[in-house]
Amino acid sequence: MYHNILVPISFDAERDTSGPLKLAQVLATPDAQVTLLHVVEHIPNYAISYMPTEYLTEARKAIQTELDDLAAKLPNAKGVVIEGHSGRTILDWTEAHSPDLIIMASHRPGMQDLLLGSTATHVVRHAKCAVHVVR
């Protein structure tokens, strides 16, 4: 049983959040804190100039609302939105908040993952706590 669980959430179409959320519920102690974390990747400056000025603010609000809706399904859960590179930012967050478990969804690996790696692979290799990957 775990007391501080991090569940990185990706809203990509091929990611299913139900598995990690169910597992967090099963593995959490009754008083556990569960954090649903979404990392918003930085948009390059050349691309941001073509977007409406309110785009980032509205996108962040929509993501926070989605996380809050997911968090409402778990006791003691909260949603957090941060910016950065997914793998590094998840690891930086774990350094600052010391979860004892990370539960993340992963897609089926393809040839590109053998060459580039994925967020789940990066977190599994470098996290200082237990990591459970759900497919």
Is the pLDDT at 54 greater than 80? The verdict is yes
Residues in the chain: 135
List, for residues 56-110, the tens digit of each pLDDT value: 899 999 999 999 999 999 999 999 999 999 999 999 999 999 999 999 998 766 6
Predicted model pTM: 0.90
Q: Return the CATH number at 61.
A: 3.40.50.620
Q: Is the pLDDT of residue 116 over 50?
A: no
51 dihedral zone (left: phi>0; alpha: psi -120 to 50; beta) = beta
Q: What's the pLDDT score for residue 115? A: 45
Q: Where are the extended beta strands (E) located within the chain?
A: 2-8, 28-40, 77-83, 101-105, 130-134
Domain count, the chain: 1
The average pLDDT across 34-52 equals 90
Most confident range, picked from 9-23, 37-51, 118-132? 118-132
Range of the domain at 75: 2-134
CA 70 – CA 66 distance, rounded (Å): 6
